[in-house]
């Protein structure tokens, strides 16, 4: 990583009070209320053209699947267009406070997963676009996602605005709290389900959903899904094809005997010594293509089945690492390998990261990062959500993003800029509502492009759609 462009390249003043004062002083050049004023920082643009530009390097045959997923709703469209909002954020008012950002910080990119100690943590769980950028870029995308999602859930305007405002207030208050904590205490802090159950003890409905999600996560491990995803043929375990979601590609795409071992050997070298020793206990058994996400559809993604014994599996996800959507907008590249960029950003922002997190480069020059496919992972489920539940989830995400930014940046400077009042909360809530309006305009243009044949679409059977989510 190039230290000249890393957010910590400039030495942080030792005095917490001095850093707070510096943050306070930044309001002169960028008043907190200014964040509501400019929605399209680079002026008019063609959203469909930006989407087409983002297709470069994707698997062309899967683009209709991507467009089909995005065509379901304005919310699905928003999830698949991180590059569009990144383009729009460039040139908007900026505090100048740079942190390691998620880059695609929307409410579906938070969820539960296992820490190395096998606790269930709640955290950001998608870092494909992570990049050093102004802290408010993450806050703005996350707040906008709550308004777009609220409209998708058919909540009224007040409920949508309240969710965005509650999110930002929770972010601001927790940044202030982290700013007063010792650095090591911030670094080791985690938002576990136990913490959340205590925090939302008075919200019986939300607590019940958290407990249900925790129980579901316990079932979501390699060991639990092994027999659902595999079969045994000629004495060897094989991943079961589930096209178009999961399937074996043509053997000409890769040579399992000669091409994959060097890939995983290079990946192995990115692991700490103790994890290398653990990885060495497994052997590669099978490898298949997997369609993932909404924005990621069309990128190269595989799952590898590794076995230590006949009843001892490990599933690893090998996902293509493309250039961040923030690259060139927030600054120049700072990593020669995009897999390393993702891994470094994830380790910096998350409270605890997958023990098998690493990176490698394929023989065709594509960058990849590697992580466990299933490790008590659970995604948010908005079925039956009410405005009150959305508010509680917004608070949870606001707290979590505050912890991530405080670990990856300087909480005292951010807290000094935000202050103790609600000016920033109100400004971002206004921005979120206005940007949600823009998303709906862009979605209408996207639908027009589909109807005209400019963007071909394809859909999947419902059971595969559910699995993809």
> Per-domain residue ranges for the chain?
16-219+382-468, 222-372
* pLDDT band of 253, cuts 50, 70, 90: low
**Residue 139: phi, psi to the nearest 5?**
-65, -40
Distances in Å between the alpha carbon of 2 and those of 5, 309, 334, 411, 417? 6, 42, 5, 23, 27
**Residues forming a β-bridge with 358:** 370
Please state, for a pLDDT cut of 90, what percent of the chain lies above it: 68
Please give the pLDDT value at position 459.
Answer: 60
Mean pLDDT of 20-27: 97
* pLDDT band of 401, cuts 50, 70, 90: very high
pLDDT above 80 for 403:
yes
Please give the pLDDT value at position 266.
Answer: 97
In sequence order, the 6+-apart residues with CB closer than 8 A to the CB of 370 are 267, 316, 317, 318, 319, 339, 356, 357, 358, 359, 360
The per-residue DSSP string of 5-37 comes to TSTTSSPPPS-HHHHHHHHHHTTTTS-GGGGGT
Mean pLDDT of 188-213: 82
Neighbours of 368 (CB within 10 A): 25
Mean pLDDT of the chain: 89
In sequence order, the 6+-apart residues with CB closer than 8 A to the CB of 100 are 7, 130, 131, 132, 345, 348, 349, 408, 409
16: tokens are 């917490």
pLDDT above 90 for 120:
no
Please give the pLDDT value at position 9.
Answer: 52
Give the residue carrying structure tokens 């380790």: 347
Distances in Å between the alpha carbon of 52 and those of 47, 81, 82, 84, 253? 9, 11, 13, 11, 25
Cα–Cα distance measured from residue 413 to residue 243, given in angstroms and rounded to the nearest whole number: 50
Please give the pLDDT value at position 38.
Answer: 95
Mean pLDDT of 6-25: 79
Distances in Å between the alpha carbon of 23 and those of 27, 191, 261, 301, 431? 7, 26, 50, 41, 21
Please give the pLDDT value at position 456.
Answer: 92
pLDDT above 50 for 463:
no
Mean pLDDT of 205-233: 79
Could you tell me if 320 and 310 are in contact, meaning their C-beta atoms sit under 8 angstroms apart? no
In sequence order, the 6+-apart residues with CB closer than 8 A to the CB of 165 are 425, 426, 428, 429
Could you tell me if 399 and 245 are in contact, meaning their C-beta atoms sit under 8 angstroms apart? no
Q: How many CA atoms, within 13 angstroms, populate the side-chain half-sphere of residue 86?
A: 28
Please give the pLDDT value at position 466.
Answer: 46
Cα–Cα distance measured from residue 118 to residue 107, given in angstroms and rounded to the nearest whole number: 24
pLDDT above 80 for 216:
no
Tell me the per-residue pLDDT of 125-164, one tens digit each, with 9 for 90 and over. Answer: 999 999 999 999 999 999 999 999 999 999 999 999 999 9
Tell me the per-residue pLDDT of 412-443, one tens digit each, with 9 for 90 and over. Answer: 999 999 999 999 999 999 999 999 999 999 99
pLDDT above 60 for 460:
no
Mean pLDDT of 42-49: 94
Could you tell me if 179 and 16 are in contact, meaning their C-beta atoms sit under 8 angstroms apart? yes
> Which of 197 and 270 is assigned the larger pLDDT?
270
Residues 168-202: b if buried by 16+ CB within 10 A, e if exposed: bbbbbbbbbbbbeeeeeebeebbbbbeebeebbee
pLDDT above 60 for 5:
no
Please give the pLDDT value at position 383.
Answer: 86
Tell me the per-residue pLDDT of 283-323, one tens digit each, with 9 for 90 and over. Answer: 999 999 888 766 677 788 999 999 998 789 999 999 999 99
Cα–Cα distance measured from residue 111 to residue 123, given in angstroms and rounded to the nearest whole number: 6
Instruction: Decide: helix, strand or coil at residue 315.
Output: strand
pLDDT above 50 for 3:
no
Detail the DSSP E strand segments found in 421-469.
none
pTM: 0.91
Tell me the per-residue pLDDT of 87-119, one tens digit each, with 9 for 90 and over. Answer: 999 999 999 999 999 999 999 999 888 777 777
In sequence order, the 6+-apart residues with CB closer than 8 A to the CB of 314 are 222, 282, 305, 306, 307, 308, 356, 372
Torsion sign across C-alpha atoms 432, 160, 324, 77: negative
In sequence order, the 6+-apart residues with CB closer than 8 A to the CB of 160 are 146, 147, 150, 151, 433, 436
Please give the pLDDT value at position 464.
Answer: 42
pLDDT above 80 for 225:
no
pLDDT above 50 for 461:
no
Please give the pLDDT value at position 331.
Answer: 94
User: What is the helix (H) or strand (E) element at residue 327, kind and residue range?
Assistant: none
236: tokens are 């060897």
User: What is the helix (H) or strand (E) element at residue 366, kind and residue range?
Assistant: none
288 closest CA partner among 261, 324, 316: 316
* pLDDT band of 467, cuts 50, 70, 90: very low
pLDDT above 60 for 353:
yes
Mean pLDDT of 350-373: 92
Please give the pLDDT value at position 133.
Answer: 98
DSSP 8-state code for residue 319: E
Please give the pLDDT value at position 56.
Answer: 84
């Amino acid at each position: 990583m190039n230290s000249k462009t890393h957010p910590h390249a400039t030495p942080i003043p030792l005095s917490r009070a001095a850093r707070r004062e510096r943050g306070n002083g930044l309001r002169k050049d960028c008043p907190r209320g200014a964040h509501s004023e400019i929605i399209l920082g680079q002026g008019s643009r063609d959203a469909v053209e930006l989407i087409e530009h983002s297709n470069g390097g994707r698997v062309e045959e899967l683009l209709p699947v991507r467009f089909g997923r995005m065509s379901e709703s304005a919310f699905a469209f928003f999830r698949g267009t991180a590059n569009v909002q990144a383009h729009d954020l460039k040139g908007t008012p900026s505090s100048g406070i740079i942190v390691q950002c998620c880059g695609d910080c929307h409410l579906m990119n938070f969820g539960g997963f296992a820490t190395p100690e096998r606790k269930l943590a709640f955290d950001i769980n998608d870092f494909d676009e992570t990049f050093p950028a102004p802290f408010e870029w993450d806050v703005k995308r996350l707040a906008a996602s709550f308004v777009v999602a609220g409209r998708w859930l058919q909540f009224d305007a007040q409920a949508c605005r309240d969710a965005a405002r509650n999110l930002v207030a929770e972010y601001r208050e927790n940044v202030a709290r982290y700013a007063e904590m010792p650095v090591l205490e911030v670094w080791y802090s985690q938002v576990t389900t136990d913490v959340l159950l205590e925090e939302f003890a008075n919200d019986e409905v939300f607590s019940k959903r958290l407990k249900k999600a925790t129980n579901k996560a316990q079932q979501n491990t390699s060991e639990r899904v092994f027999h659902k995803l595999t079969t045994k043929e000629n004495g060897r375990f094989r991943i079961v094809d589930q096209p178009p979601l999961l399937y074996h590609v043509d053997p000409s795409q890769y040579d399992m005997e000669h091409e994959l071992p060097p890939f995983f050997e290079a990946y192995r070298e990115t692991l700490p010594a103790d994890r290398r020793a653990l990885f060495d206990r497994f052997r590669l058994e099978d490898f298949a293509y997997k369609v993932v996400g909404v924005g990621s559809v069309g990128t190269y993604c595989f799952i590898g089945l590794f076995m230590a014994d006949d009843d001892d599996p490990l599933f690893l996800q090998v996902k293509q690492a493309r250039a961040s959507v923030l690259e060139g907008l927030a600054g120049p590249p700072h990593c020669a390998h995009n897999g390393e960029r993702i891994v470094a950003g994830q380790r910096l922002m998350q409270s605890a990261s997958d023990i098998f997190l690493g990176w490698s480069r394929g023989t065709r020059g594509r960058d990849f990062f590697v992580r466990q496919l299933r490790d008590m992972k659970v995604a948010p489920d908005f079925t039956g959500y009410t405005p009150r539940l959305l508010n509680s989830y917004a608070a949870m995400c606001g707290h979590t993003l505050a912890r991530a930014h405080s670990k990856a940046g300087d909480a005292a400077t951010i807290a000094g800029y935000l202050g103790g009042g609600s000016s920033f909360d109100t400004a971002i809530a206004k921005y979120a509502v206005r940007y949600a309006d823009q998303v709906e305009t862009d979605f209408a243009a996207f639908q027009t492009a589909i109807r005209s044949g400019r963007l071909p679409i394809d859909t999947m059977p419902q059971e595969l759609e559910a699995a993809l989510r």
